[in-house]
Each structure stands twice: as C-alpha cells, then as structure tokens.
Amino acid sequence: MPTPTTKKMRESIEERILSTHQHRINSMLNIELVDCSCEDCTATLAFDVRDWMLNPGGLLHGGILTTFFDISMGILSFYLNGDLIAPTATLSVNFVRPVQNGERVLIKARSHHSGRTMIQTSASAFTDGCDSECAYATAIFSKSTPKI
C-alpha cells in the first residue's frame, strides 16, 4: 500500500499529466504514470511509440525519446518543486539501442538532489518486456520559476 506522501505525489503527477493543453506535444504523447515513490524520489512513466514519432528509418526518432526523458524527469521535478514549473537547465541523453514502432517505452526517472535552486535527476528508458536499457539521461531543472 502506498504511503500518504506517495499517494499525494501520484495525485500531483496525474493532475499535471491531465492538465496538459490540447494540441501541444505533451497531449499528443498519451502519457501514463506507471509508478512513483516519494520516499525513493522516483517516477515511472509510459509512452507508446506511434507512426508519427518515427524517423526516416522507421525507428523512434531520437528527439522524441529525448522528449520522453524531458517530460518524465520534468514531471518529477515539478512535484519536488512544490507543483511549480521547473524548467530544464541541462539535458544529456545517451542512446543504446533502437526502439521499434508499436513498442511501449518506460522511463524510470529519479531525483538525486533537490536543493535551493536546482533539482538533479537521471532516468533510464526500457521497452516493455526488455530488461536492457535503450537509452539513459541526466538533467538539471531550475527552481526559479513561479507557478503557471
């Protein structure tokens, strides 16, 4: 059973996902919160790969996978920043293996440090049913933006 703080975290993240403006990239991704833990400072989000997300080679476009990372670590940072927008300051992605059309990508994001001015995060991407990473990322989010 989730702790009260993890339950509050889940509610905050789900509300953030649902409050996405129509016709913007986040709303086009059909984001699903799979799991989260306030105690571990983690959140796992799922994204289904669809035709419009493919590169000319028929694989998931690297920019779309980077967007998955940015959203996943960003939503975690949003919660850790008291439900305030925390803009991405840096984002670095390493691609390990390709992702096929129709696969489901799970992004497991973790916060390593949440200080006065920044939140340091990392994340790993997996495809459903595969234990090996398809990519991994690190990012820093700024805590300097007022609530939107």
Of the pLDDT bands very low, low, confident and very high (cuts 50, 70, 90), residue 6 is confident
- 137: left (phi > 0), else alpha (psi -120 to 50), else beta? beta
State the DSSP code for 33. E
Cα separations (Å) of 65 from 40, 47, 68, 115, 146? 24, 9, 5, 27, 28
| Helical spans, DSSP H, in 19-61 | 25-28
Matching residue, tokens 């803009």: 87
Q: Judging by beta carbons within 10 Å of its beta carbon (0-12, 13-18, 19+), is residue 131 exposed, middle or buried?
A: exposed
Q: Which two three-digit tokens encode residue 50? A: 């669809």
This model's pTM is above 0.75 = yes
Of the pLDDT bands very low, low, confident and very high (cuts 50, 70, 90), residue 113 is very high
pLDDT for position 24 = 81
Domains of the chain: 4-142 (3.10.129.10)
| Helical spans, DSSP H, in the chain | 4-18, 25-28, 62-80
> Which has more pLDDT, 4 or 45?
45
Of the pLDDT bands very low, low, confident and very high (cuts 50, 70, 90), residue 147 is low
Q: What is the mean pLDDT of residues 127-147?
A: 88
Q: Is the pLDDT of residue 4 over 90?
A: no
pLDDT tens readout for residues 54-105: 999 999 999 999 999 999 999 999 999 988 889 999 999 999 999 999 999 9
